[in-house]
Amino acid sequence: MPKRPRADRAAQFMPFAALRGYYDLLRTKERVPEPRHELTEEEARELSAVAREVRRGDVVRAVYYDGDAYVERTGCVARIDLILRTITIVDATIPLDDLRDLAIVA
């Protein structure tokens, strides 16, 4: 019997995902729908001040409204556009109007 190439032998130990997409579906079901919180003038001013200080490469923690619930994302700022009013954290582009909280971590 001929030997199998090393890559083929390693493939037999790869995890098998019989239910593709199942775990993503579970994560979306874990979210509890909640109403959107309207910012007070004071909260809006504070958020605006932090957004002006954020620079590309900063690590930030953002809490934002994503459809039906608030989500927290921490990561490196890839882009911030005050004209289009968006911030891109890693690979997620978030409208500034959806932010509830923004803090520079490092």
The identity of residue 64, as a single letter, is: Y
pLDDT digits (tens, 9 = 90+) for 20-32: 777 777 777 777 7
Q: What proportion of the chain, given as a percentage, has pLDDT over 70? A: 82
63: helix, coil or strand? strand
pLDDT-based confidence at residue 74 (cuts at 50, 70, 90): very high
Q: What domains sit in the chain, N to C, each tagged with a CATH number?
A: 39-106 (2.30.30.520)
Find out whether 100 and 51 touch, Cβ atoms under 8 Å.
no
What Å distances lie between residue 97 and 1, 23, 87, CA to CA?
A: 64, 30, 10
Is the pTM value of this prediction over 0.75? no
User: Strands of 59-65's sheet, edge to edge?
Assistant: 92-95, 86-89, 70-81, 59-65, 99-104
Determine the pLDDT at residue 68.
86
